Structure 1
């Protein structure tokens, strides 16, 4: 099935290319041709093979679209050099380890405290007689995410929570649109973004702000008393800039390029995920929010104003389940692209087709692993379009045995049962849907090139969402019977005229 270039342009401009491709998979099956040399893959076996084959390079056309900063452009996201990726990831991994991330928890809590103070002030000054004040939750979580990445990665807040306005956020949004256009129109790659009206000014703003931050921190870290040093990600980059990778090789990190990557990836993705959480929870499952609040109350009995420590938040099963279900329904990066370097013949199982099928893949074929389809399709998931956090909690009282075990082939020896294996750890197959397909949960990709910041993002979402639910009564301020529009400009976004208003009121301590 061919996908005309003009059609691709139209859907990209509308931000709905991923939805169109999803419908193609629902209609035509797990493998769909969407261009002369471009294939969309929603088959579980082929998707895992593509993502976990280290010698299958990234799609050059897609990843060149992310090269937006001035100077050297190689980083973990954009590089097509597998050896460079391996070595760079080895250098950066300690900065995203569980131990190092513990240092960042107080900085995330600091941003939360600023948000709580502002919400309490708004409730006092602008609330109606009933005590409610209204916030646009999309704007709120983007402001929070940018301040979290500012505090924890760059040693300073961008003051988004307090001011609600920063040119850096506007610049990021424009550059993401430019990236999306570059994926569909490769000719744009030959034009330096700084020479393109509207987008060029965004790149200038980003470079100016980030350049000033890096210069300031570099100068401070060189001071004799060491007072300019902070235990954050930028300091880690600056230290590695001077030392290389420690094994005598010539590789040294380009601080500016990697800092820009962490800024874009670290703020935009988690912000959109949190916005989707509120949309799903408020519009689809207010009963889930009530149950989650009760679980938070049990985990933190000291009162609603006390800061919630991350170690305890990680034990709140319904919180993690809600985050995971949000990322399943709305993976902020809905597809991952690779490119074949030689002709290949791949085989895969298709229960709908009655057995094994063969796919001929010529050299130079661009492969889109369609994460959105893999995590939603009714051929792979029972109740796949429903927001059902309980599916991730084994033995949850809200999931009856019939719902969990009632699919032929899910349990051992093809029968239902109470084993963990039966809940979805078996290899998924198209045409054999399960309530849980753990090996198809791919919001952070998979393999050696998965998202290095996944633990950072999860910690941030636990802290922000946990505190908001524990501290405030929150209700939808929009008509929840009308589905909101979703679009993709690199990341998936909730989009609605007037934002996504929520009503907020402080709980009694």
Structure 2
């Protein structure tokens, strides 16, 4: 809005409206969608839910007044692994400004939006293996041995996690300016809910149809995920 009055030509009302709409969507729909999907995955896989809760309780023992220690939250391996896995399962990336597309040598007119279909990239076994289509947070952990959900143990060299092609927030000059804020606020929400509430699925049919009800329409349209929250009888810290 040129609050400082330094621009020789002030932005038009239409430009401000478009920028405002984008900022609101980017700062709300994205984080809300990611958190909704995270709860869906955690409630669908109780072993992951219990493992994350243990990490939260170990990092923030009940009764402490430091639940909002954002630096400590950022250093929680399994919490971050769960968030990265969730983002890898749902996001779409958009880019523009390219004149050619890789080896295709196809000209793209200036101003044309080009989408890199992150959903397919993140599920390509060349980049993420094993279980490229599954919610398996362990792929983001640094360890010598891994245990698959089936119970099978595999070595580190059998796990492929190519961080260079991971683009839930886009890459390069078009990377999301609010990435760190979004990650911080999502970690804070997850830690608070995990520590203070027991969570149960209220309607199993909504879980069964969750992935079928997700649609990409610039913002993400998703179904309902009703849950029951019960206080764990811990001190209120937030």
> Is the pair's TM-score, using the shorter chain for normalization, greater than 0.5?
yes
1:265 aligns with 2:26: yes
1:471 aligns with 2:219: no
CA distance in 1, matches of 2:27, 2:178: 7
Following superposition, the deviation at residue 478 of structure 1 comes to: 2.5
1:194-233 equivalences under 5 Å are: none
Following superposition, the deviation at residue 366 of structure 1 comes to: 6.0
Aligned residues of 1:376 and 1:385 also touching (Cα < 8 A): yes
CA distance in 2, matches of 1:300, 1:363: 51
Larger Rg: 1
CA distance in 2, matches of 1:396, 1:271: 34
> Which among 87, 96, 107 is matched to residue 362 of structure 1?
107
The alignment partner of 1:402 has SS state of strand
The alignment partner of 1:278 has SS state of helix
What is the match of residue 490 of structure 1?
218
The alignment partner of 1:378 has SS state of coil
1:105-116 equivalences under 5 Å are: none
> Which among 375, 379, 386 is matched to residue 134 of structure 2?
386
Call closer, same or farther: CA 1:254–1:450 in 2, change over 3 Å: farther
CA distance in 1, matches of 2:203, 2:101: 50
Call closer, same or farther: CA 1:305–1:264 in 2, change over 3 Å: same
CA distance in 1, matches of 2:141, 2:208: 29
1:456 aligns with 2:217: no
Call closer, same or farther: CA 1:363–1:468 in 2, change over 3 Å: closer
Q: How big is each residue's C-alpha offset from its partner over 1:31-56, in whole Å with a ceiling of 9 and x where there is no partner? A: xxxxxxxxxxxxxxxxxxxxxxxxxx
Following superposition, the deviation at residue 377 of structure 1 comes to: 2.3
CA distance in 1, matches of 2:169, 2:12: 24
1:33-432 equivalences under 5 Å are: 241-242=3-4, 244=6, 250=8, 256-257=16-17, 258-283=19-44, 285-303=45-63, 307-331=67-91, 334-338=92-96, 340-341=98-99, 344=100, 346-347=102-103, 359-364=104-109, 367-382=114-129, 383-395=131-143, 398-399=146-147, 402-406=154-158
Following superposition, the deviation at residue 254 of structure 1 comes to: 7.4
The alignment partner of 2:204 has SS state of coil
Aligned residues of 1:307 and 1:467 also touching (Cα < 8 A): yes
Q: How big is each residue's C-alpha offset from its partner over 1:406-456, in whole Å with a ceiling of 9 and x where there is no partner? A: 2xxxxxxxxxxxxxxxxxxxxxxxxxxx53111111000001111101111
Following superposition, the deviation at residue 473 of structure 1 comes to: 0.5
Call closer, same or farther: CA 1:449–1:405 in 2, change over 3 Å: same
Aligned residues of 1:300 and 1:308 also touching (Cα < 8 A): no
1:434-449 equivalences under 5 Å are: 435-449=160-174
CA distance in 2, matches of 1:295, 1:272: 23
Call closer, same or farther: CA 1:288–1:261 in 2, change over 3 Å: same
Call closer, same or farther: CA 1:253–1:297 in 2, change over 3 Å: farther
What is the match of residue 355 of structure 1?
none
Aligned residues of 1:338 and 1:367 also touching (Cα < 8 A): yes
Q: How big is each residue's C-alpha offset from its partner over 1:223-249, in whole Å with a ceiling of 9 and x where there is no partner? A: xxxxxxxxxxxxxxx7x62154xxxx7
Aligned residues of 1:241 and 1:252 also touching (Cα < 8 A): no
